[in-house]
Amino acid sequence: MDLYKVLEVSKDASQDAIRRSYRRLARKYHPDANPGDKKAEDRFKEIQHAYEVLSKPEKRREYDEGPRTFFGSGGTGRPGDAGFGDFSDLLGGFGNLGDIFGRTTTTQRTQAKGENLTVNIRLSFRDALNGVTTRVGVPVEEACGECGGIGAAPGTVPRTCPECGGRGVQSRDQGFFALSTPCSGCGGEGRIIERPCSVCGGHGRVRRSRQVKVRIPAGARDKMKVRIPGRGNAGRDGGPAGDLYVRTLVEEHPVFKRKGDDFVVGVPVSFVEAALGAEIQVPRPGGGIVKLRLPAGTQDGKQFKVRGAGASRARTDGGEKGDLIVRVSVVVPKKLKRREREILEALAEERDEDVREDLFKKVGSS
């Protein structure tokens, strides 16, 4: 590839002539002026590379002396030649010569997706259990309506930075290599806004408060996130908007304790019910009751599972439900009537049991 032909100048052209030709060609083939034109983009990259070499006297001298001096022995400097390929391999996969010089940064200002946002919403226990549709206030950055998001005053457009040619970076020679740094002329933006928009100050976005409708599914858990695509901050330079995440903060219930999609409830039962067995009623989350049969001899702290009486599984749109875990608490009467005491004393005499016998056996054997 003849770099002089790329810039459409003769080999004895002055530095001023090279600079003028570069600027003319850069404006003509810049991607902003040829959106979607791959050939124009490739041509622009060639122009960029040629100017990077020929604009620096030392690099130009090495190039004029021939491929052996400029690229090292064994190659011509053209992609695909043996010497060029060997040199790339030696550098461990930098890709192409443009990478070696740090000049493969895109020449077109990249469309950037807007930032994602997260807001909290407080929910009552019942709303989280049954699901609710509500609105949340979101402080969001939207594309400026005055300038259409480009940052320039109406009737004007940003111009490509002449220092970096729209790349947003400048290359500084470090021997054979070059170090890329943000362009000092445009601050890394790749463009210069000569007349900033009076509304957004050249940023292209303005901050506003927006009310966003959100559907919280039934069975929402505490600190669960609901994603709403495209309702975050506006993108830059026509990029897509970010997403909004609504995080649920669910109030605690005085009776039911959440455990995943299950609920745990403590239910007191009498000594007689635990000893003889009984059918008891248990409250369920969201209202209503379920009936549970206690077997005779139920011990304090025993747990029973009532399937499908828990919370809706949010990820299944309420199609499945968790379980209700019933934890029994045996209530011992604090006071006894004379007849009750006589009955219990007769029972104790009848059973004549030592409920701590196994405990002392284990202690003695240890």
Q: Residue 20 is part of a domain; what is its CATH number?
A: 1.10.287.110
Q: What percent of the chain has pLDDT above 70? A: 83
pLDDT digits (tens, 9 = 90+) for 4-16: 999 999 988 888 8
Q: Specify the pLDDT at position 291.
A: 94
DSSP assignment of 250-305, as one string?
EPPPSS-EEETTEEEEEEEEEHHHHHH-EEEEEE-TTS-EEEEEEPTTPPTT-EEE
- Is the residue at 208 inside a domain? no
Structural domain that includes position 18: 3-100
With bands split at pLDDT 50, 70 and 90, how would you rate the model's confidence at 166? confident
pLDDT digits (tens, 9 = 90+) for 71-98: 443 444 443 343 333 333 333 333 333 3
Last residue of a domain, one of 42, 67, 100: 100
Last residue of a domain, one of 57, 73, 100: 100
pLDDT digits (tens, 9 = 90+) for 106-121: 344 556 788 999 999 9
Specify the pTM: 0.58
pLDDT > 90? residue 133? yes
| Calpha distance 364→366 (Å, rounded) | 6
Q: What is the mean pLDDT of residues 8-37?
A: 84
- Is the residue at 54 inside a domain? yes
- Is the residue at 30 inside a domain? yes
Do 274 and 298 form a contact (C-beta atoms < 8 A)? yes
- Is the residue at 76 inside a domain? yes
Pick from 59, 39, 20, 47: nearest CA to 167: 47
Contacts of 116 (CB under 8 A, 6+ apart): 232, 233, 242, 243, 244, 245
- Is the residue at 345 inside a domain? yes
Q: Per DSSP, what are the bridge partners of residue 228? A: 244
- Is the residue at 217 inside a domain? no
Do 180 and 105 form a contact (C-beta atoms < 8 A)? yes
Total domain count for the chain? 2
pLDDT > 90? residue 164? no
pLDDT digits (tens, 9 = 90+) for 39-55: 888 888 888 888 888 88
- Is the residue at 23 inside a domain? yes
Q: Residue 293 is part of a domain; what is its CATH number?
A: 2.60.260.20
| Calpha distance 243→291 (Å, rounded) | 45
pLDDT > 90? residue 154? no
With bands split at pLDDT 50, 70 and 90, how would you rate the model's confidence at 279? very high
Contacts of 93 (CB under 8 A, 6+ apart): none
Where is average pLDDT lowest: 145-149, 203-207, 330-334?
145-149
Last residue of a domain, one of 68, 100, 132: 100
Q: Specify the pLDDT at position 66.
A: 65
